[in-house]
């Protein structure tokens, strides 16, 4: 596996642009060989980049880009916590929460934006179990939120 942190930067996701927690929680908790990464919103440069309901305010493609940004924020938080990118062993599970318009049923397609980034950066180690859930609302009015579990050394 190439250095995934360098690849993140090359894709336009600078490691220094890690959103600060918006409430009382830790962005990452490492315990017993697992890194649990808290929910990440589609924030870049302190700005929410995907807001509203998917299927009403945003298209699937716009929300997919938001999911990709969420995944980048998950990885940036993980990189800060681990220090050494070589400690990442694999992605175990990803959960995506999609602020959905009534009747919207394509949450799985939105979450592909996150899954594709994990696979592009980590290859087979990026393959993961996942859930894509439609929700009534998300913090700050975000269109998508992602959390994840990683195996780490």
Predicted confidence at residue 2, as pLDDT, reads: 66
Predicted confidence at residue 42, as pLDDT, reads: 98
Annotation: CATH topology of 4-11+35-152: 60s Ribosomal Protein L30; Chain: A; (3.30.1330)
The full set of domain ranges for the chain reads: 4-11+35-152
Are 144 and 138 in contact, with CB atoms under 8 Å apart? Answer: yes
77-96 average pLDDT score: 96
Where do the H-state alpha helices sit in the chain? 4-10, 60-82, 107-122
Kindly report the pTM of this predicted structure. Answer: 0.97
Report how far residue 70's alpha carbon sits from residue 115's, in angstroms, rounded to the nearest whole number: 11
Give tens-digit pLDDT for 35-69.
999 999 999 999 999 999 999 999 999 999 999 99
Report how far residue 83's alpha carbon sits from residue 11's, in angstroms, rounded to the nearest whole number: 20
Predicted confidence at residue 22, as pLDDT, reads: 85
Report how far residue 84's alpha carbon sits from residue 118's, in angstroms, rounded to the nearest whole number: 17
């Amino acid at each position: 596996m190439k250095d995934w942190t360098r690849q993140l930067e090359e894709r336009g996701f600078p490691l220094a642009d890690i959103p600060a927690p918006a409430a009382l929680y830790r962005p990452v908790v490492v315990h017993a060989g697992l890194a649990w990464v808290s929910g990440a919103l589609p924030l870049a440069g302190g700005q929410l980049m995907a807001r509203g309901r998917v299927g009403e305010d945003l298209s699937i493609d716009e929300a997919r880009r938001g999911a990709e940004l969420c995944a980048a924020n998950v990885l940036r938080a993980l990189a800060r916590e681990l220090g050494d990118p070589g400690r990442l062993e694999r992605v175990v599970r990803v959960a995506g929460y999609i602020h959905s318009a009534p009747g919207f049923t394509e949450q799985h397609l939105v979450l592909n934006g996150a899954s594709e980034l994990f696979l592009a950066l980590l290859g087979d180690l990026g393959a993961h179990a996942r859930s894509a859930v439609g929700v009534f609302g998300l913090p700050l009015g975000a269109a998508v939120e992602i959390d994840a579990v990683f195996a780490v050394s």
